[in-house]
Amino acid sequence: MVNVTRGFRSRRFATDDRLPPGQYLTDGFPVLSAGPTPAVPQDEWSFMVRNGGQVLRSWAWDEFMALDAQDITVDIHCVTRWSRLDTTWRGVAVDDLLADVDTAAEYVLARSYGGYTTNLPLEDLLDGKAWIAYEHDGEDLPPEHGGPARLLIPHLYLWKSAKWIKSLDLVEDDDPGFWETLGYHDYGDPWREQRYQGD
Ligand SMILES: Nc1nc2c(c(=O)[nH]1)N[C@H]1C(S)=C(S)[C@@H](COP(=O)(O)O)O[C@H]1N2
Ligand SMILES: [Mo]
Protein backbone atom coordinates (compact mmCIF):
# COMPACT_ATOMS: atom_id res chain seq x y z
CA MET A 1 0.00 0.00 0.00
CA VAL A 2 2.71 2.42 0.99
CA ASN A 3 4.61 1.72 -2.19
CA VAL A 4 1.54 2.23 -4.37
CA THR A 5 0.87 5.56 -2.72
CA ARG A 6 4.44 6.62 -3.14
CA GLY A 7 4.46 5.61 -6.80
CA PHE A 8 1.30 7.58 -7.44
CA ARG A 9 2.75 10.62 -5.72
CA SER A 10 6.00 10.51 -7.59
CA ARG A 11 4.19 10.30 -10.92
CA ARG A 12 2.15 13.34 -9.97
CA PHE A 13 5.24 15.24 -8.98
CA ALA A 14 6.95 14.16 -12.18
CA THR A 15 4.13 15.73 -14.22
CA ASP A 16 4.09 18.90 -12.12
CA ASP A 17 7.84 19.18 -12.61
CA ARG A 18 7.28 19.26 -16.34
CA LEU A 19 4.67 22.01 -16.27
CA PRO A 20 6.14 25.53 -16.47
CA PRO A 21 4.64 28.24 -14.25
CA GLY A 22 1.18 29.47 -15.26
CA GLN A 23 0.55 26.54 -17.65
CA TYR A 24 -2.15 23.83 -17.59
CA LEU A 25 -2.14 20.39 -19.22
CA THR A 26 -4.29 19.55 -22.22
CA ASP A 27 -4.71 16.36 -24.23
CA GLY A 28 -6.02 18.21 -27.27
CA PHE A 29 -3.94 19.93 -29.90
CA PRO A 30 -5.39 23.45 -30.40
CA VAL A 31 -4.65 25.23 -33.68
CA LEU A 32 -3.23 28.74 -33.28
CA SER A 33 -2.59 30.62 -36.51
CA ALA A 34 -2.40 34.37 -37.04
CA GLY A 35 -3.79 34.06 -40.57
CA PRO A 36 -5.07 31.56 -43.12
CA THR A 37 -3.28 28.24 -43.63
CA PRO A 38 -1.08 28.61 -46.73
CA ALA A 39 -1.45 25.83 -49.29
CA VAL A 40 2.04 24.56 -50.06
CA PRO A 41 2.04 21.43 -52.23
CA GLN A 42 5.04 19.21 -51.56
CA ASP A 43 6.24 19.52 -55.17
CA GLU A 44 6.37 23.31 -54.80
CA TRP A 45 7.94 23.21 -51.35
CA SER A 46 11.56 24.02 -50.68
CA PHE A 47 13.47 24.86 -47.55
CA MET A 48 16.49 27.17 -47.48
CA VAL A 49 19.28 28.35 -45.22
CA ARG A 50 20.19 31.91 -46.13
CA ASN A 51 22.68 34.54 -45.09
CA GLY A 52 21.85 38.07 -46.14
CA GLY A 53 20.34 37.65 -49.59
CA GLN A 54 22.48 34.62 -50.30
CA VAL A 55 21.05 31.08 -50.39
CA LEU A 56 23.59 28.84 -48.64
CA ARG A 57 21.58 25.61 -48.72
CA SER A 58 18.34 24.57 -50.35
CA TRP A 59 16.34 21.33 -50.38
CA ALA A 60 13.35 20.28 -52.46
CA TRP A 61 10.83 17.97 -50.74
CA ASP A 62 12.37 14.73 -52.03
CA GLU A 63 15.84 15.89 -51.08
CA PHE A 64 14.63 16.81 -47.61
CA MET A 65 12.96 13.40 -47.17
CA ALA A 66 16.28 11.75 -48.04
CA LEU A 67 18.05 13.42 -45.09
CA ASP A 68 18.58 11.51 -41.84
CA ALA A 69 15.47 11.94 -39.73
CA GLN A 70 14.95 11.63 -35.99
CA ASP A 71 11.96 10.57 -33.91
CA ILE A 72 11.36 13.17 -31.26
CA THR A 73 9.26 13.05 -28.06
CA VAL A 74 8.95 16.42 -26.35
CA ASP A 75 6.71 18.57 -24.14
CA ILE A 76 5.33 21.73 -25.79
CA HIS A 77 4.14 24.94 -24.15
CA CYS A 78 1.92 27.60 -25.71
CA VAL A 79 1.95 31.16 -24.38
CA THR A 80 -1.88 30.96 -24.21
CA ARG A 81 -1.13 28.63 -21.22
CA TRP A 82 -1.75 25.13 -22.53
CA SER A 83 0.99 22.51 -22.43
CA ARG A 84 1.11 19.00 -23.91
CA LEU A 85 3.47 16.32 -22.64
CA ASP A 86 5.21 13.64 -24.71
CA THR A 87 4.19 14.85 -28.15
CA THR A 88 5.78 12.79 -30.92
CA TRP A 89 7.31 14.11 -34.10
CA ARG A 90 9.65 13.11 -36.89
CA GLY A 91 12.00 15.55 -38.54
CA VAL A 92 15.53 16.65 -39.34
CA ALA A 93 17.76 18.17 -36.66
CA VAL A 94 18.69 21.76 -37.41
CA ASP A 95 22.26 20.71 -36.49
CA ASP A 96 22.33 18.58 -39.65
CA LEU A 97 20.91 21.38 -41.81
CA LEU A 98 23.51 23.86 -40.57
CA ALA A 99 26.45 21.43 -40.59
CA ASP A 100 29.32 22.94 -42.58
CA VAL A 101 27.62 26.34 -42.70
CA ASP A 102 30.23 28.87 -41.69
CA THR A 103 28.79 32.06 -40.25
CA ALA A 104 29.53 34.88 -37.84
CA ALA A 105 25.79 35.46 -37.36
CA GLU A 106 24.45 34.98 -33.84
CA TYR A 107 20.73 35.10 -34.61
CA VAL A 108 18.22 33.52 -36.95
CA LEU A 109 15.01 34.84 -38.41
CA ALA A 110 12.74 31.89 -39.20
CA ARG A 111 10.52 32.70 -42.20
CA SER A 112 7.35 30.90 -43.17
CA TYR A 113 5.21 30.52 -46.25
CA GLY A 114 2.48 33.11 -45.70
CA GLY A 115 4.88 35.69 -44.25
CA TYR A 116 5.12 34.74 -40.55
CA THR A 117 8.51 35.33 -38.93
CA THR A 118 10.08 34.69 -35.54
CA ASN A 119 13.53 35.56 -34.17
CA LEU A 120 15.84 33.16 -32.33
CA PRO A 121 19.43 33.01 -31.07
CA LEU A 122 21.36 30.67 -33.38
CA GLU A 123 22.69 28.65 -30.43
CA ASP A 124 19.12 27.77 -29.41
CA LEU A 125 18.65 25.95 -32.71
CA LEU A 126 21.77 23.80 -32.21
CA ASP A 127 22.90 20.89 -30.01
CA GLY A 128 19.77 18.78 -30.47
CA LYS A 129 17.32 21.48 -29.39
CA ALA A 130 15.44 22.13 -32.66
CA TRP A 131 14.14 20.29 -35.70
CA ILE A 132 12.32 20.84 -38.97
CA ALA A 133 9.43 18.43 -38.33
CA TYR A 134 7.20 16.91 -41.01
CA GLU A 135 5.34 14.21 -39.07
CA HIS A 136 3.27 14.39 -35.91
CA ASP A 137 1.88 11.32 -34.14
CA GLY A 138 3.09 9.08 -36.96
CA GLU A 139 1.17 10.98 -39.65
CA ASP A 140 2.12 13.65 -42.16
CA LEU A 141 1.97 17.00 -40.39
CA PRO A 142 -1.56 18.37 -41.03
CA PRO A 143 -1.62 21.73 -42.88
CA GLU A 144 -3.25 23.54 -39.93
CA HIS A 145 -0.39 22.41 -37.67
CA GLY A 146 2.26 23.60 -40.12
CA GLY A 147 2.50 20.98 -42.86
CA PRO A 148 4.36 20.27 -45.04
CA ALA A 149 6.97 21.14 -42.37
CA ARG A 150 7.43 23.34 -39.33
CA LEU A 151 10.15 24.40 -36.99
CA LEU A 152 10.00 22.54 -33.65
CA ILE A 153 11.86 24.26 -30.82
CA PRO A 154 10.18 22.87 -27.70
CA HIS A 155 12.29 24.61 -25.03
CA LEU A 156 10.76 27.97 -26.05
CA TYR A 157 7.07 28.98 -26.17
CA LEU A 158 5.38 27.45 -29.18
CA TRP A 159 5.00 30.69 -31.15
CA LYS A 160 8.75 30.26 -31.87
CA SER A 161 7.99 26.95 -33.66
CA ALA A 162 7.18 28.55 -37.02
CA LYS A 163 4.63 26.57 -39.01
CA TRP A 164 5.00 26.25 -42.83
CA ILE A 165 8.71 26.96 -42.50
CA LYS A 166 10.40 28.24 -45.64
CA SER A 167 13.84 29.38 -44.50
CA LEU A 168 16.19 29.98 -41.65
CA ASP A 169 17.91 33.31 -42.29
CA LEU A 170 21.19 33.88 -40.47
CA VAL A 171 21.29 37.47 -39.23
CA GLU A 172 23.59 39.62 -37.11
CA ASP A 173 20.88 41.38 -35.11
CA ASP A 174 18.04 40.02 -33.00
CA ASP A 175 15.30 41.92 -34.87
CA PRO A 176 11.80 40.97 -33.66
CA GLY A 177 9.54 38.74 -35.74
CA PHE A 178 5.75 38.77 -36.08
CA TRP A 179 4.56 38.25 -32.48
CA GLU A 180 7.66 39.83 -30.98
CA THR A 181 6.87 43.09 -32.85
CA LEU A 182 3.38 42.92 -31.30
CA GLY A 183 4.75 42.71 -27.76
CA TYR A 184 5.72 39.09 -27.20
CA HIS A 185 9.10 38.39 -25.61
CA ASP A 186 12.20 38.24 -27.81
CA TYR A 187 13.38 34.97 -26.23
CA GLY A 188 10.28 33.28 -24.78
CA ASP A 189 11.52 30.83 -22.12
CA PRO A 190 8.41 29.17 -20.59
CA TRP A 191 10.32 28.26 -17.39
CA ARG A 192 11.04 31.96 -16.78
CA GLU A 193 7.53 32.95 -17.97
CA GLN A 194 8.91 35.23 -20.65
CA ARG A 195 5.54 35.86 -22.28
CA TYR A 196 5.75 39.57 -23.09
CA GLN A 197 8.47 42.17 -23.64
CA GLY A 198 9.76 43.14 -20.20
CA ASP A 199 8.94 39.78 -18.51
N1 LIG B 1 3.66 30.42 -39.71
C2 LIG B 1 3.09 30.47 -38.50
N3 LIG B 1 3.66 29.76 -37.51
C4 LIG B 1 3.13 29.78 -36.28
C5 LIG B 1 1.98 30.56 -36.00
C6 LIG B 1 1.41 31.30 -37.05
O7 LIG B 1 0.41 32.01 -36.89
N8 LIG B 1 1.99 31.22 -38.30
N9 LIG B 1 1.47 30.59 -34.72
C10 LIG B 1 2.42 30.27 -33.65
C11 LIG B 1 1.75 30.13 -32.38
S12 LIG B 1 1.28 31.55 -31.59
C13 LIG B 1 1.60 28.91 -31.80
S14 LIG B 1 0.99 28.76 -30.22
C15 LIG B 1 1.91 27.67 -32.54
C16 LIG B 1 0.66 26.84 -32.62
O17 LIG B 1 0.90 25.64 -33.28
P18 LIG B 1 -0.33 24.69 -33.53
O19 LIG B 1 -1.37 25.48 -34.30
O20 LIG B 1 0.20 23.53 -34.27
O21 LIG B 1 -0.87 24.31 -32.17
O22 LIG B 1 2.39 27.91 -33.84
C23 LIG B 1 3.22 29.02 -33.97
N24 LIG B 1 3.73 29.05 -35.31
MO1 LIG C 1 0.72 30.96 -29.43
Number of residues that make up the chain: 199
For 42, half-sphere exposure in the C-beta direction (CA atoms, 13 angstrom radius) is: 12
Cβ(113) to ligand 1 under 6 A? no
Cβ(87) to ligand 1 under 6 A? no
Number of domains, the chain = 1
Cβ(51) to ligand 1 under 6 A? no
Cβ(82) to ligand 1 under 6 A? no
Task: State which residues form the domain around 64.
Answer: 46-73+84-192
94, part of any domain:
yes
35, part of any domain:
no
CA distance 123 to 172: 13
pLDDT digits (tens, 9 = 90+) for 63-121: 999 999 999 999 999 999 999 999 999 999 999 999 999 999 999 999 999 999 999 99
- Residue of the CA atom closest to atom 16 of ligand 1: 32
pLDDT digits (tens, 9 = 90+) for 173-188: 999 999 999 999 999 9
**How far from 131 is each of 94, 183, 196, CA to CA, in Å?**
5, 26, 25
The CATH number given to whatever domain includes residue 60 is: 3.90.420.10
179, part of any domain:
yes
16, part of any domain:
no
148: cis peptide before it, omega within 30°?
yes
> What pTM value is reported for the model?
0.93
Pairing of strands 46-51, 165-171: parallel
